[in-house]
Structure 1
Amino acid sequence: MNKILTIGTFCLISVTSFASPQLEKGINDSSCTWYLKSGQDSLAWVDGFSAVNSTVEFDLLPQNSSAQVGVLLRYVNENDWIYVGCDKATDHLGFAYWYVETPNGKTEIARDIAKLYAHHLRHIKVNCIERTLTVYVDGEQITHKYIPDLPLSPGRTGFRVHDQGNVQISNVICRALKEQKREIVKKKSGYTLSSSRMEVVLNKDFPSVQSYLWKETQSRLDGQPFDVKDILINGDRYQPQVTSKAEADRILYTLKVKEIGVTMQVCCQVTDNLFQLSVTEIEEKGNFKVKTLAFPDHNLVSLSDTVPGSCLSVADNVHADRFYPLKEKAVDNTSQYGSIVLLNSDKLVATLESNSIYATRQFLYRSVQTPGSVVTGIWGNEWMYRGHDGELVGLPYIKVILSDDCNRDNKVDWQDGAVALQRVYPAPFGVDRIQNSYATITMNFASCAQYPFLRQLDNIKKFYLATDGFGQMLELKGYQSEGHDSAHPDYSGNYNERAGGKDDLAFLAKEARKYNAHIGVHINHSESYPEARAFNDRIVTDMPAWSWLDQSYFLNKEADMLAGSFEERLNRLKVDVPDLSFVYLDTYREYRWLAHQTARLFNQNGWAVWTEDADVFDKEAVWIHYNPEAKSLIHRLVHHQYRDGYAMHPALLGGYNRGAEIGFMGWQKGRDFKGVIHNFFTKQLPYRYLMHYPVLQLDTARAVLESGLLAVGDGKNGTVIQRGEQTLMTGDCVFIPWNPETEEKIYHYNVQGGKTTWQLPESWKGQETVYLYALSDLGRKLAGTLPVRNGRIEIDALPDQGYVVYKREMAPLPEMIWSEGSPVKDTGFDSQLFDYWQKKQGATDALAVRETAYGQDYLEIKGKDAAGVSQVVNGLISGKEYVASVWVNVIGRKEATLAIQSGEELKKQTSIQESRVMNYTDNTDRFRTTWQRLKIPFRMPAGQKEIVLSLNGGVASEDTAAVCFDDVRLVECLQTQKAGYAYFEDFEHVDEGWGPFIACQPSAFTTHLSQKHDVYTDNTIHGNWSLATWRERNGEVYRTSPAMIRFAPGQVYEVEFDYKVDTRDVYKVVGRSLSTGEEVFSYDLNRPGTCNVRFTTPDCTDFYIAVVKEGNGLLVIDDFGIKGELIK
């Protein structure tokens, strides 16, 4: 049991009266400020106030970020009290934890994203009525909960600070509240509104419904059975003066709250099967401002458990459903949250739609004992009328949607209500693209530029050709700074230069649209990394968050939003990259005004919302990354067409893996182009087709959709999709018309291969012949002309081969231009021809474009004889400095050479004869291969504009020897060579990667080129850039690349570099040989300084220098240089 100690010095607040009909007595003092700091447990009392039911609100200014502060209520003695407070500042996901505590124990009541940041003012409000607690932070309700063991004796009110808590409290208001009694009211004469389908009777003395009548069947539902005439404004209950009048098609109410000078106009209307209550005007006289508004206990629809077939159905967030036959439902001690709520009898069902921005807590329900029955009601949660910025969010409305059996299953249940709701639900921005696109993710990370923006454009073209132009949506992780999770929250002005920078990114986004592809970027507005240009004390807190390349800290999103800096950075991104189509917002767990405002900013820039968690952006997100727990059938039936964000369903599909198999450009090491095509045909294509049709009926393994579609899933046959006699999918075999509206072509894919017979769509009636095309990454090729017999065709398919069927013979596709935007063309040999690359004289038969097992193209030069290719690269600027590079793999022993020439003034080449060192660059198709990178830095001679770039394979002693080339790249890049050194790197201008170093083992990839940022970083030494590593695995961390630095046997060298460490006895630099096993030198890096080692290499050609780690700590190096003669 906690012992409560009283602080010795504090200011007393005198008792004042408070004029509200709902309040008995109160204290209101804005003149006093308390400073509470505790090493154990401390308390400050509000003098002269004692109550059972009360509200306490105050301004809270934390002096640190430990939280551990709250309100004491009903304090009688050390054995009889209630504490409500925030006792855990944050978890790793960014949630603060709120608890209620009594002498009998402690209970969590909320996990909320609104944290108590140091020096950020919060306004806290705690309402306690009987055993129900409601907590507000900055005017937003974060929890409303019944706690069964709360003591009920009247007692004192105070504030408690414990452990590391340190706060400033001011503007304290305490008020005693009356318990709200529910009384059944007899129905009086009221107003009647009518449409062609239903009739609604409303009360005259308050905007509430008495009853609903469904005209066709004369079925009825009740409205408000209780005498409740209150409203909640800013969390306080008021009883307004109400006047009303009827007009031709609506009822108008005027609600006046004299105590605060607020007058509201409310309009009620009926259209078709929909009743709508709208607040059309709020007038504020004086200084009082309305932030939130609610109609508490406002049963818009209610049902007694005596009504035949009565049932309550609730989507609990997006994760699960609750179905309550009212005969079996227990009484609720307080109202409960619901994302979607539905009440039905055996004749009629009702549900709600609202513009409340409380996301998955938009609605409330409660079952109450009345004489003779239990009555269950549903109504809307609070609306936020005014945001934290003082601007209006929007005038509130709520709709009641009624339906009978509208899904044609000969009964009325929740599904009819969900279908009716689906038909009026507002579609999120950008949903049309996700319905028609393959969703995928690309990855650049840790300075390595694994997939430069222009290479991604070529890969978009490959997918475009292999799917006959199907849409694509690509989420780019790592478009900023050093790649994924770098430079948050810059968003703009700090683009990934190693991947191509702003110009290449903008070019990618623009050109991708020509190939029905749409680019989006991954951002984060929860955490900030110190190297980000936007990292500053105004918006960044002292709470540590995710750590990867650097330690990040939680952002104060509200401060960023209110300052306008968040919007400013987003708008700069729009200007810089105007053709972006969506933004993926990572690790985001806001649920109210901040989320609403963020989605508004995205949409006004033309961006659809993608995000990580399924319960965020409930109305706005069209794609969710983490979806396995999103299993609510109610939510899915309503939102099926609008979001790709649910767990796998045997009939409706979705839930496809968001890991490696989603893409072939690095995310989670994904590299398998063939696997992506397989997943397109068997997973995303049929799912996208189904997304075009509303769901009518749904259970755990079966779905009936509009347009006569039936989807069934079972363990034996997989998913079967049919429309009448036409089968569209059976297991991994598909025959899907596209698009669903025009059906101009039909996709076919058969994992097993073989002959299958298919019914053509009705729109193809009259076809006597159809044309079958085989698809590949070179496009479509006529595979045969198929006769139509009785509206059916037979296809003899190859296994795992994509096809498309057309009504007529199609013209050849325009010739693809590869590597647009790059000085070098066909950089990845994706044309599979030698139109861009010229074969040199020699063994031209040894030249071929090959394909890896996972579908990546490369150039192979094989055999004993020498051969090569070259390309004239023009458009270069004399006097500019560039880097030419290519990825190389040597099989056996054969020299692979990269060479450039411009006239007689520029002749350079570099080569390797073998590649035995494993490539551990993560997030690339070369991971765990022996591909290495050759590069040549050069300056264009005066008067020259072009070079000849050559890739050569030398002579070899074995026919099986081969050299392989891929991903040629030429970028503008300043030189870093320094006089007196055979090799020098200051890390100021690295084209890609870690300068001369490569990873030695599969790593945590917490090594990167670190950028200086004023006082916020300490991981650079000279200039603006250094190489930093931390938290990698023990052992060799990185080593010199054998393709960039080759030591000659038996030669004397000197290596030097500046470094700093934060821990002794963790790092050392060594010189080793793999073939001899020798360690020539070892130098401990124990204190900041300069490492200088002179050594003689052993008799080997595989000597290298490596950094070795044992323990934990940071190492930064800079100005790495080697003296001595290296092998060219």
Structure 2
Amino acid sequence: MNKIITIAAVCLISAVSLASSSSGSEERASSHVYRLNAKTDSLVLIKDFSAVNSTVEFDLIPQNSYAQVGMLFRYVNENDWVYVGCDKATDNLGFARWYIGTPKGKKEIAHDISKLYAHHRRHIKVNCIGRTLTVYVDGEQIVHQYIPELSLSAGQIGFRVHDKGNVQISNVVCRTVEEVANVPAKKKSYYTLSSSCMDVLLNKDFPSVRSYIWKKDHSQLGGQPFDVKTITINGDTYRPSVTGKTEANRVLYTLKIKEIAVDLQVCCEVKDNVLQLSVTDIKEKGDFKVRTLAFPDHNLVSISNASPDGCLSIANNVRSDTFYPLKDKAADSTSQYGSILLLNTDKLAATLESNSIYNNRQFLYRSVQIADSIVTGIWGNEWIYRGYDGKILPLPYIKVILANDRNLDNRVDWQDGAIALQEIYPKPFGVDMLHNSYATITMNFASCAQYPFLRQLDNIKKFYLATDGFGQMLELKGYQSEGHDSAHPDYAGNYNERAGGKKDLAFLAKEARKYNAHIGVHINHSESYPEAKAFNDRIVTDMPAWSWLDQSYFINKEADVLAGTFEQRLNQLKEDIPDLSFIYIDTYREHRWLAHETARLFTRNGWATWTEDPDVFDKEATWIHYNPSSKSLIHRFIHHQYRDGYAAHPALLGGYSRGAEIGFMGWQKGRDFNGVIRNFFIKQLPYRYLMHYPVLQLDTARAVLEGNLVAVGDKKTGTVIKRGELTIMSGDCVFIPWNPVTEEKIYHYNVRGGKTIWQLPFSWKEQSTVYLYELGGKGRRFIESLTVRGGLVEIEAQPGKGYVLYKQEMKQLPEMLWSEGGLVKDTGFDSRSFENWKVQGDSALLEVKETDYGQAYLEIKGKEPAGVSQIINGLTPGKEYIASVWVNVIGEKKAILMVQSGKELNEQVSISESKVKNYTDNTDRFRTTWQRLKVPFRLPANRNDIILSLKGGMAANDTVAVWFDDVRLVECLHAEKAGFDYFEDFEHVDEGWGPFIPCQPGAFTTHLSQRHDVYTDNTIHGEWSLITWREKNGEVYRTSPAMICFAPKQNYEIEFNYKVDNRDVYKVVGKSLLTGEQIFSYDLNRTGKCNVCFTTPDCTDFYIVIVKQGNGMLVIDDFGIKGKLVQNSVK
């Protein structure tokens, strides 16, 4: 900094003197536009203005996206100055980094989501009073902090850029500010408001509290200890004229601020144990518009350090707490933020609730020396009254809530205040769904459509049956475009066609509700991908963000919201998919108006709010993805019923993994249905039970809740939950009445199995017999009736099996309709029967079996041929379709997929072995040898039906078998080109990468890329090409042996167009593993056409593969083969 100031060309500009905005202050404004560039003019000082305490505001337009710009104040010389600025435009999480600097060095003072985008105007305001610094960006406070390093010398104001900084600064206004010392309040006249619980004494000359008197024992709490009569509007402090009057059981104050022609009406009223202070009217009588408003140092409750057992308890945020015994607390240099604040003496506790939208900075506290005492007070942070869009938000209010010993533990502490706060806390939208549903995540990714929407519906039914109808919440990752993180922010109009598109997604969301399941989708409003239709220069910046399928760029959310395009896309999603229940918004780190507006739009559309980080949507989010660091006991105490987003707690549970453990539909490679059922019974079910009840007492290992519930956690025995004398959980064994209110059934699960004895709940006291059912893939199955003796029942359970008890015999659940919405019935054999399939051959050779992770499949075994078939009606004559199925061959036996329709259509494909590893990520078949067979066909013009058959051919012995699963039939155009025996132009791929499959586990960033002219260059011809980048070195993708099988010793020619961005990275290779021969290797070094002629060796496993060594991108298109293939599943 010294060097730069010393050598920089300093531009001194006189300021224009304006009238003072308030008595005793001086204001200067400059009409100049300052253009600062680190390479030329890097520093400007405002001449003829010097101050210690000042407010400076200005407009800033960065000319690039590097930021590296700030303000100088108290500039005396090159050895005495203070700098505050944004020195890092964004980190990898999207936060701009703000620093304070002096000649001795610099330190970070804030990381905030409001970034300095290139060519986007920001209004910056900096207040520096004493050693307290407050910074506003576009009218919203991002820093309020005591900086001990600040010099107190009067000095000039200026601006500075460094490194790559390049900005335009204009509309500069500098004001001196008087530092007001708070003086102790004098005795003065007051109003008294009364309720059944308390009297509140209010000062007549300003809407502030004098004291509280609790009627039951006449104990008291203090209010405002200072003579403070100021209000802050838009970051500037004014002293209004005040008049007051009583009206019914409330006091009305009128505050008039002459300097800006603004009048406010403030109402104070008391009901039960709550004092509410509300701004009921704001009159703007001139041009001035109120953006923010605050009552500075407005101690609504205060306690002296002499108060017995006095304590200040702070939820700093959702992550941590701080507890200050007041007898030991030192004075604070300035007020500090808190998410939740509680003060208590030995008689009373007090806390606050406000509609400020400053997220987890809603409140302020400060301890101040007054005579021989230190007094600690709490009050509200400022309110945002107008958003970026100029629209008015709900009028401000703040509530003071008092409590005595609410949990009857014979003492008063923060937990009593928390109980009282919990009772009036605003309930977020969607909590009822949260209390009664299992949370899981599904995944489609990289064009592979691993879990088509209709298959997800079948999986919902599987869970429904295995849990006796328990609720589900499914977050769909990859409902758009090519799957997860591929076309944000296209919330609508760009659905994942390979997974079923808009039609199947809407069907899934609607039908899921019949099975007590709620569908939500994963969106992103932080990063945009260039293939997205919404990607454009108006809302997308040039700041690189997350890179996965493509390189994304940060979205300018303000621009998107103010243009109305954000709301339009959400509304279109609501119109297209009306039965969605929630939105998961990823990587979202806004805290103020933008977050408030986003949650408002979600709620208006009937969607609960889910998100990734625990620090955002403090009052709105009901489910948080990243929860390990969320360990605030105070925050959890109050939000326990409202938010599933905390670290695991020995007693209150929660904290379950958000990874593979909770799902069996691909997220984080999750596939284990049996593990999901265990997770349900042992983790989520007891947690959901506890969520029905407010917390009364809480420490690090024990919780007491309403409903006579006590939960205790122990490292050796696990969690034990009791309701009175009734044990409902003991370690990994549960006996949970459901639901917690009506208790019409009881869930039982025992990891180890065996006999256990349980006491029935009181609501079952009349039962002499109860009925035990085992739960599984076909629903509940009656096991036996159990005799009740002395209110006790003994259950013998199988290890890891779920059970349910009823008071009476229950009817068998209706037969499930599998694969609704699709053309093929029971595509995954989840019925465990052949009701929808006609058996061909010896039925003893066919069996529906289950993998060790709970996935059903059809096995056809032995050396004799056999199979199943299904007649499929309702097709469109003359249309093109693709039938496909996953197959796995055990030994050597032909697996056949056949499609027939009359005499005109008879197509089939087959494989006799499946030895190639399946590395399709995010699927239950990852690292297995399952392969996908496909039959493309055109339906005859006179037919609307087909017979689809799955067969196992003749084999040499009885030890071999073929497995089939997940049959699919979709309407899909075929790629054809004259002169080629095989051709793929990637324009109409049903799922996957055309003829190619991945060769190894890796980043899995290969995908079908869609043309978006101007913004992408990842396509060659038409709308679609195949792109790969950021995969591991080695073999990337190869021809699938189930789709392309080369004949031995045959002449072939391959041809495709390609594009690369680096030389010597990619090559196409033809090889055989059986013979060890590499027949050709063609370097893909320049954009153009690859053409290779070759003769295959004497082998059956020849394949073509893309090999990578280095970094770079490869795009291919129009892949064709000339030469007769052994089998060709795509014509």
Does 2:469 match 1:469?
yes
Q: What do the CA deviations read for 1:310-346 (whole angstroms, capped 9, x no partner)?
A: 0000001100100000111121111110000000000
Does 2:1041 match 1:1056?
no
Contact in 2 for aligned 1:631/1:646 (Cα 8 Å): yes
2-structure distance, mates of 1:634, 1:978: 67
2-structure distance, mates of 1:954, 1:2: 83
Distance 1:280 1:941, change over 3 A: same
2-structure distance, mates of 1:73, 1:22: 22
2-structure distance, mates of 1:81, 1:141: 23
Q: What do the CA deviations read for 1:529-560 (whole angstroms, capped 9, x no partner)?
A: 00000000000000000000100000000000
Percent identity of equivalent pairs: 75
1-structure distance, mates of 2:166, 2:7: 15
2-structure distance, mates of 1:639, 1:371: 39
2-structure distance, mates of 1:9, 1:303: 52
2-structure distance, mates of 1:390, 1:353: 25
Q: State the partner residue of 1:337.
A: 337
1-structure distance, mates of 2:12, 2:448: 60
How far off is 1:56 after superposition?
0.6
Alignment map for 1:168-317 (pairs within 5 Å): 168-317=168-317
Secondary structure of 1:224's partner?
coil
Q: State the partner residue of 1:1110.
A: 1109
How far off is 1:129 after superposition?
0.6
For 1:20, the aligned partner's letter is S
Alignment map for 1:454-853 (pairs within 5 Å): 454-840=454-840, 842-853=841-852
Contact in 1 for aligned 2:67/2:116 (Cα 8 Å): yes
For 1:954, the aligned partner's letter is G
For 1:891, the aligned partner's letter is I
1-structure distance, mates of 2:336, 2:180: 17
Q: Which deviates more from structure 2 when the two are superposed, residues 937-946 or residues 921-930?
A: 937-946
Secondary structure of 2:1008's partner?
strand
Alignment map for 1:857-876 (pairs within 5 Å): 857-876=856-875
1-structure distance, mates of 2:780, 2:693: 29
Q: What do the CA deviations read for 1:438-480 (whole angstroms, capped 9, x no partner)?
A: 0000000000000000000000000000000000000000000
Alignment map for 1:851-930 (pairs within 5 Å): 851-930=850-929
For 1:1090, the aligned partner's letter is K
Q: What do the CA deviations read for 1:503-539 (whole angstroms, capped 9, x no partner)?
A: 0000000000000000000000000000000000000
How far off is 1:13 after superposition?
4.1
How far off is 1:369 after superposition?
1.1
Q: What do the CA deviations read for 1:1037-1060 (whole angstroms, capped 9, x no partner)?
A: 000000000000000000000001
Secondary structure of 2:612's partner?
strand
Secondary structure of 2:507's partner?
helix
How far off is 1:1005 after superposition?
0.7
RMSD: 0.9
Contact in 1 for aligned 2:12/2:44 (Cα 8 Å): no
Secondary structure of 2:684's partner?
helix
How far off is 1:11 after superposition?
7.6
Contact in 1 for aligned 2:353/2:425 (Cα 8 Å): yes
Secondary structure of 1:369's partner?
strand
Contact in 1 for aligned 2:558/2:594 (Cα 8 Å): yes
How far off is 1:979 after superposition?
1.8
Distance 1:22 1:819, change over 3 A: farther
Secondary structure of 1:924's partner?
coil
Q: What do the CA deviations read for 1:912-952 (whole angstroms, capped 9, x no partner)?
A: 00000000000000000000000011111011010000000
Contact in 1 for aligned 2:10/2:43 (Cα 8 Å): no
Q: State the partner residue of 1:21.
A: 22
Q: What do the CA deviations read for 1:715-748 (whole angstroms, capped 9, x no partner)?
A: 1110000011100000000000111111110000
Q: State the partner residue of 2:1090.
A: 1091
Q: State the partner residue of 2:1080.
A: 1081
Contact in 2 for aligned 1:6/1:42 (Cα 8 Å): no
How far off is 1:707 after superposition?
0.7
Unaligned runs of 5+ in 1: none
For 1:1096, the aligned partner's letter is T
Contact in 2 for aligned 1:1061/1:1116 (Cα 8 Å): yes
For 1:924, the aligned partner's letter is T
TM-score (norm 2): 0.99
Q: Give the paired residue count.
A: 1126
Q: State the partner residue of 1:402.
A: 402
How far off is 1:1002 after superposition?
0.3
Secondary structure of 2:511's partner?
helix
1-structure distance, mates of 2:1115, 2:443: 25
Secondary structure of 1:448's partner?
coil
Contact in 2 for aligned 1:887/1:931 (Cα 8 Å): yes
Contact in 2 for aligned 1:363/1:379 (Cα 8 Å): yes
Q: State the partner residue of 1:70.
A: 70
Contact in 2 for aligned 1:863/1:959 (Cα 8 Å): yes
Contact in 2 for aligned 1:5/1:43 (Cα 8 Å): no
Q: State the partner residue of 1:12.
A: 13
Distance 1:802 1:567, change over 3 A: same
For 1:404, the aligned partner's letter is N
How far off is 1:788 after superposition?
0.9
Q: What do the CA deviations read for 1:811-870 (whole angstroms, capped 9, x no partner)?
A: 111110000011000000000000001101x23211000100000000000111111100
For 2:664, the aligned partner's letter is F
Alignment map for 1:328-367 (pairs within 5 Å): 328-367=328-367
Q: Which deviates more from structure 2 when the two are superposed, residues 312-321 or residues 40-49?
A: 40-49
For 2:230, the aligned partner's letter is D
Q: State the partner residue of 2:1069.
A: 1070
Q: State the partner residue of 1:1006.
A: 1005
How far off is 1:18 after superposition?
3.6
1-structure distance, mates of 2:640, 2:633: 10
Q: What do the CA deviations read for 1:33-63 (whole angstroms, capped 9, x no partner)?
A: 1111112882111121100000110000111
Secondary structure of 1:287's partner?
coil
Alignment map for 1:58-137 (pairs within 5 Å): 58-137=58-137
Alignment map for 1:952-1101 (pairs within 5 Å): 952-1101=951-1100
Q: State the partner residue of 1:139.
A: 139
Contact in 1 for aligned 2:36/2:167 (Cα 8 Å): yes
Contact in 2 for aligned 1:738/1:745 (Cα 8 Å): yes
Q: What do the CA deviations read for 1:624-681 (whole angstroms, capped 9, x no partner)?
A: 0000000000000000000100000000000000000010000000000000000000
2-structure distance, mates of 1:440, 1:929: 24
1-structure distance, mates of 2:498, 2:173: 56
1-structure distance, mates of 2:22, 2:41: 37
Secondary structure of 2:156's partner?
strand
TM-score (norm 1): 0.99
How far off is 1:1077 after superposition?
1.0
Contact in 1 for aligned 2:281/2:395 (Cα 8 Å): yes
1-structure distance, mates of 2:867, 2:1073: 31
Q: State the partner residue of 1:388.
A: 388
2-structure distance, mates of 1:553, 1:161: 24
2-structure distance, mates of 1:910, 1:194: 85
For 1:116, the aligned partner's letter is L
1-structure distance, mates of 2:371, 2:938: 92
Secondary structure of 1:995's partner?
coil
Unaligned runs of 5+ in 2: none
1-structure distance, mates of 2:944, 2:24: 84
1-structure distance, mates of 2:677, 2:24: 66
